[in-house]
Amino acid sequence: MEASKEETILKELTAKFDVEGRIQRERRIWINVDRGNLIELCNFVKEMGFDHLSDISVTDWVKEGKYEDTYHLWSYQHKILLTIKTRIDRDNPIIKSIFPIWGKSAQIHEREMHEMFGVNFEENPDLSPLFLEDWQGPPPFRKDFDWRKYVRENYYDKNNEREKVYFEEV
């Protein structure tokens, strides 16, 4: 029996790189890679035909002290979504940028992850704020961000009785 496209791609990736991978379902491949091999893997998969960076997201694993960066790459050629995951230290969240590989589409996603989580993407030429104007606080999507405290300090009107229920410290 002939191997599926997903099996063929996964086999090629696991043979060439030190990665863990699985076929999640038809047309979906998940790969876990050490952050030190991320750039080499990304260059390789782009050459394989994964030329569309759909999204970058970050998951905050507070108890583990890690961020999990997730890259979703689509191949118009293979009609497959490749998800690449890598972990970085939460206290020192630095990772190489994929901007040199996917250009502006990577840059905008990395700017958002920098602004919301504090991840520093080395070699990204523009990590300026994207959404938060004049923001002085810590990255607001971190799980340890105290949004109640932030609202209380910036928006709470102590003279408004209705707001006391929501914003008074307990």
Q: Which range is least confidently modeled, 43-52, 114-123, 124-133, 147-156?
A: 147-156
State how far the Cα of 17 lies from the Cα of 38, in Å rounded to an integer. Answer: 10
Q: Which range is least confidently modeled, 35-44, 54-63, 88-97, 147-156?
A: 147-156
62-100: pLDDT as tens digits = 999 999 999 999 999 999 999 999 999 999 999 999 999
C-beta of residue 88 within 8 angstroms of C-beta of residue 95: yes
pLDDT at 135: 87
CA angle 42, 105, 32 (to 5 degrees): 30
State how far the Cα of 15 lies from the Cα of 164, in Å rounded to an integer. Answer: 60
Bridge partners, residue 85, by sequence: 32, 70
Query: Strands (DSSP E) along the chain, which ranges?
Result: 19-25, 28-33, 52-61, 66-75, 80-89, 94-96, 120-122
pTM as predicted:
0.88
Tokens representing 165 are 């229920």
Q: Domain extents for the chain? A: 5-134, 136-170
For domain 5-134, which architecture applies?
2-Layer Sandwich (3.30)
- Give the chain's largest Cα–Cα span: 74
State how far the Cα of 30 lies from the Cα of 33, in Å rounded to an integer. Answer: 10
Task: Tell me the pLDDT band of 47, cut-offs 50, 70 and 90.
Answer: very high
Q: How many CB atoms are located within 10 Å of the residue 14 CB?
A: 14
Q: 51 Cβ partners below 8 Å, 6+ apart?
A: 75, 76, 77
| Residue written as token pair 């999990």 | 68
Q: 54 Cβ partners below 8 Å, 6+ apart?
A: 72, 73, 74, 81
118-137: pLDDT as tens digits = 999 999 999 999 999 888 88
One-letter identity of residue 68: E
pLDDT at 163: 64
pLDDT at 161: 67
C-beta of residue 82 within 8 angstroms of C-beta of residue 29: yes
